[in-house]
A and B are shown apart, each in its own frame.
Chain A
Amino acid sequence: MEKKGTTRRDFIKATATGAAAVGIVSAGAFDPNSLEFGPQPVIAAEEPPKEAYREPVYEQIQITVNGTVRNLLVDTRESLAEVLRNHLHLLGTKVACDHSECGACTVLMDDTPVYSCSTLAVKANGHKIRTIEGISDGKIMHDLQQKFFDKDAYQCGFCTSGQIMAMLGFLKKYPNASEEDLKQSNAGNLCRCGAYPNIHKVALEAAKEKQK
């Protein structure tokens, strides 16, 4: 590939200070004048790197998100969480561990709670997804959210979207859950602020109302 102008390598070399110390570094003086501004460096790769890097593979998927059909071109490595957050800008679903260990990313896929960080987007093809944004109409909160509000079943709020979606899914699947069963409703959702007792109070009340 022919290239004109500055290559990335040249740009980096020009901004680098060759005399970086090895070992002891004396009082670092940060000199703003040593920084280069100017045009965006040329980005195109000169050649694909050898070992670990592999070209991405893209696939077309169709998912229904909060009632709206979406046609998306996704990287087959992308998780549902990445697609929701980066493609659809639905930022209410949080990624906290990216490892299916904490539940912050819980969304409903066909009414079942799933960890969106560990669900491949291509696997969601053809399915219905509901996120925290899709359970209220923007003005009035869902009943469950109102209970979270009234009973203070949250603190920092980062795990809260996942907690609510998990509880919704649980109550939908087990409408006749006993008090003992409800000790498990949010067992897959970590909360470091420790809002568990109040979350449990919400679950108990919501189940009771459903069972009336």
Chain B
Amino acid sequence: MAFVKTLVVVEGHEEFMVVEVPENEAPSWANKTDFDYVGKPTPRIDGVERITGKAMYTADVNLTGMLHGKIVRSPYPHAKVKGVDDSEALKVPGVIAVYHCKNTDPVAFEGDNFIFNPILRFVGDEVAVVIAKTERAARDGRELVKVDYEVLPFVVDTMDAVKPDAPKVQPKGNIVKGKPTVVTRGNLEAGFASADLIVEGTYSTPVVHHTCLETHGSVVSWDGDNVTVYDTTQSMYRVQAGFAQTFKIPSNQVNVICNYIGGGFGSKTGLGKYTAMAGLASKKLGRPVKILLDRDEEFLATGHRPSTIQKIKAGVKKDGTLAALSLEAYVPTGAYLGRFIDIGRPVRELYKCENVETKISGVYLNLMTHCAMRGPASSEGMVGIECMMDLIATKLDMDPVELRLKNYTDIGDQVKNLPYSSKGLQESLVYGAEKSDWKNKRNKKPGEGKANGNIVRGIGVGSLLWGAGGGPPSSAEVFVYPDGTLTVRSAVNDLGQGVRTLAAIIAAEELHIPIEKISVIANETEGSAYDMGSFGSRVTPSFGPAIRNAAYDAKMKIAKAAAALLDIPENEVQFEKGVFFKAGEKDNGVKLEKLLKTFNHPVVGSGFRGPNPPQYVLTSFGAQFVEVEVNTDTGEVKIVNLVASHDAGRVINPLLIESQLLGAVALGIGYGQYEEQFVDPATGIPVTVDFANYKIPTYADFPKVEPHFVKQVDPANNINAKGFAEPPCMPTAPAIANAVYNAIGVPITDLPVTPAKVLKALEVKRNK
């Protein structure tokens, strides 16, 4: 078996890995035009369970003898735990134990971050866990744990934290690695010198939260040396690895189960502290332990999209071409080092420019550590550059769409120096402009449209690029039974994006077995093929080809039996619409159903995702056009229409991909208009810890959205599809900001675009 080095880009991280080349790689569907299942709108195969209340989420797991845990959290942004008095808590009837750093061995969670840190670095940091017979008793006990804190100085403002005299969040200082990370190409100075015009802008984006409806939590149950972990997670195998590492046990003793998950959005991609605590408590007590977070804990301690401060400087020629681009950014990582600080990809890659520099400082703050959130780092980065493009367009008196097309990179990925496998950005911009009536709706000069009473209108555009090619590792097994039914088995999480349905469609297409006869088991690690997890828009382009390979493998095995039955060499067997035949003799073929009956065991096909093709890189593109009405008396912004045009390669399930688009746009609207974490500067306490104060879009807020998919067959994988979970939430916020700019004539450079900010901008405009 051949091994090759391949590039995998997931969540903005590029990794080279050495992987096997599958011997059973299914031939690409690139030239296939006749599909029976792929491309047809298919309702979810696990839909009935979700709709009838039968789906069991982690919150619904109940085991015999199960205990409940509730976590005591730091009320201070920075403090030392001097002592923990759990005596009162232990007196509450039903409370069985309290664990904290003073009565447990330190359990390392990640690097120098422990389950119970003796030094607490943010409001919400875990101090203790109370274990009781009922959730109520655990909560009562939690109220009574007395902690002796030594309060330390704190910092929660990014620009305060970079000052030399700022309180230290981490002993080594507040700038990650001590200095900014710089990525340069070309000659920035020369580039700016050659420009006809220099345009500068500073943009800021807030901390926003995932707000999964199902809160984080786990149920852990030991049976001797073996442990079962029920966890609401996007990656069962990652939880398995994290748990095994934390407790120093072999992975194969850990079974992670997740049947259904109520939202993840990037916040549930690995081991959680609550899982480790449940593991610790259940081992000590010899009983299963369930720990579920409350809603306020979700806002305090489950990660978030980090805020950013972005200073962009662009040097442009009179004709609109970019001569130089620089980004200086500050991204607060939180109390510990997270992995999504590099927001520079859009600046480095979206528009053609030879002279580019991104200089990004990660900053420690006394806040929870950030984590991935749908389109991490690049969603933040998209805001700055896309708003800057509209500013440049105004200064050059150019159409913002024309400006973007002027700086189009049809040469490919100018960073990796590789062509894109396909790029549907131009089509998206052109289609979107037409569908939204851009030419007529756009105020040629921002703010100079005709007002209708106190309503002014405008339209704005935002575009995106995102790594959506996935890659190994991902694998699946397919069991084809003598009775003609089929089961796909792999430990991959269906978050509600329709992974199980994707698996069924692909297996159905490959073997011509109807979807009603297919079941997909994707619930636990035990006995299941490996998949890295559901994040980074990786499932369709990673798991899809893996299932195909598994189904193809099964088909080839059955083909051997066909060859024997038809008395022909194996390489002369063809398969079409459920029939095996010799080329040219379709009428003398043998049906799959009949062949299967000759087996007295299931035919097992096994497949895995091979390397990414080295000659190009798969990237997702798209553009959204947002038309708004702004009320100049109240500052309210109403989205009148939103056209979203994207490239997703081959659309496997048009019903579900549209849901994915609409859902992602909702998230983008929240980012653009409503959502913002607010931290009280005097105490370091986040005050947006409930849905009343942290406003996510509701059913009543949803505008008209017109989705569109560029017709595309991507050559980079054998199902010709791109990942699509994240791209559609990425252009929305900048498009909204640009639309409001077009409507009122003043750019809003600080997300979210709230009524207060609109009114302030209008006041500034009046005073000029």
Contacts and interface: CB of A to CB of B under 8 A. Distances in A.
A9 B136 CA distance: 22
A59 interface: no
Contacts of A91: 53, 56, 60
A194 B90 CA distance: 43
Interface in A15-32: 15-17, 20-23, 25, 27-32
Contacts of B495: 155-156
Q: Which of B59, B263, B287 has the most CB of A within 10 A?
A: B263
Contact of B213 (A17, A32, A159): A159
A196 to B, nearest CB: 4
Contacts of B87: 9
A136 B52 contact: yes
A194 B47 contact: no
Interface stretch (B102-110, B344-352, B426-434): B102-110
A17 to B, nearest CB: 6
B284 interface: yes
Interface in A134-190: 136, 141, 145, 148-150, 152, 154-161, 164, 183-187, 189-190
B103 to A, nearest CB: 4
A73 interface: no
B214 A96 contact: yes
11 contacts: A9-B90, A21-B118, A28-B105, A35-B283, A155-B495, A155-B663, A157-B55, A187-B698, A194-B667, A198-B662, A200-B702
Contact of B144 (A49, A92, A154): A49
A53 B295 contact: no
A98 B295 contact: yes
A112 B212 CA distance: 26
Nearest to A161: B53
A46 to B, nearest CB: 7
B102 A23 contact: no
A161 B88 CA distance: 39
A90 B55 CA distance: 12
B301 to A, nearest CB: 16
A195 B662 contact: yes
A34 to B, nearest CB: 6
B99 to A, nearest CB: 9
B441 interface: no
B691 interface: yes
Interface of B: 43-44, 47-57, 59-60, 62, 80, 82, 87-94, 96-98, 101-108, 114, 118-119, 133, 136, 140, 143-144, 210-215, 246-249, 260-263, 265, 283-287, 294-295, 495-497, 655-656, 658-660, 662-667, 690-692, 696-700, 702, 705
Q: Which 3 A-B pairs have the closest CB atoms?
A: A92-B53, A158-B262, A157-B50
Instruction: Count chain A CB atoms within 10 A of each CB in B88, B114, B496 and give the residue with the most.
Output: B496
B210 A141 contact: no
Given A27-B108, A158-B57, A164 B118 contact: no
Contacts of A38: 286
Contacts of A196: 662, 666, 697-699, 702
Contacts of B60: 91
B47 A149 contact: yes
Contacts of A12: 90, 97-98, 103
Interface string A22-66: 110101111110111110110111111111110000000000000
B51 A154 contact: yes
A91 B664 CA distance: 28
A27 B656 CA distance: 47
Given A91-B53, A101-B295, 8 more contacts: A43-B93, A48-B91, A91-B60, A94-B59, A149-B43, A150-B43, A155-B495, A160-B51
Given A22-B118, A145-B51, A34 B105 contact: yes
Interface residues of A, number: 87
B213 A47 contact: no
Contact of B690 (A29, A37, A97, A193): A97
A75 interface: yes
B90 A8 contact: yes
A193 B691 contact: no
B702 A94 contact: no
A117 to B, nearest CB: 10
Contacts of A93: 53
Nearest to B702: A196
Given A53-B144, A158-B262, A187-B699, A25 B118 contact: yes
Contacts of A98: 294-295
A194 B44 contact: no
A204 interface: no
B213 A20 contact: no
A202 to B, nearest CB: 11
A20 B103 contact: yes
B140 A53 contact: yes
Contact of A197 (B94, B118, B212, B705): B705
Contacts of B119: 23
A88 B140 CA distance: 23
A30 B658 CA distance: 47
A102 interface: yes
Contacts of A9: 87, 90
A95 interface: yes
A28 B96 contact: no
A97 B212 CA distance: 10
Contacts of B212: 158, 192
Nearest to B50: A157
Given A98-B294, A155-B496, A186 B699 contact: yes
A80 interface: no
B667 A156 contact: no
A158 B263 contact: yes
Nearest to B245: A30
Contacts of B496: 154-157, 193
A208 interface: no
A22 B639 CA distance: 54
A99 interface: yes
A94 B213 contact: yes
Interface centre among A9, A23, A157, by most chain B C-beta atoms within 10 angstroms, is A157
Given A156-B495, A184-B700, A192-B212, A133 B247 contact: no
Contacts of A20: 101-106, 118
A40 B96 CA distance: 9
A195 B659 contact: yes
A132 B62 CA distance: 19
A199 B51 CA distance: 12
Nearest to A159: B213
Contacts of A53: 91-92, 140, 144
B675 to A, nearest CB: 11
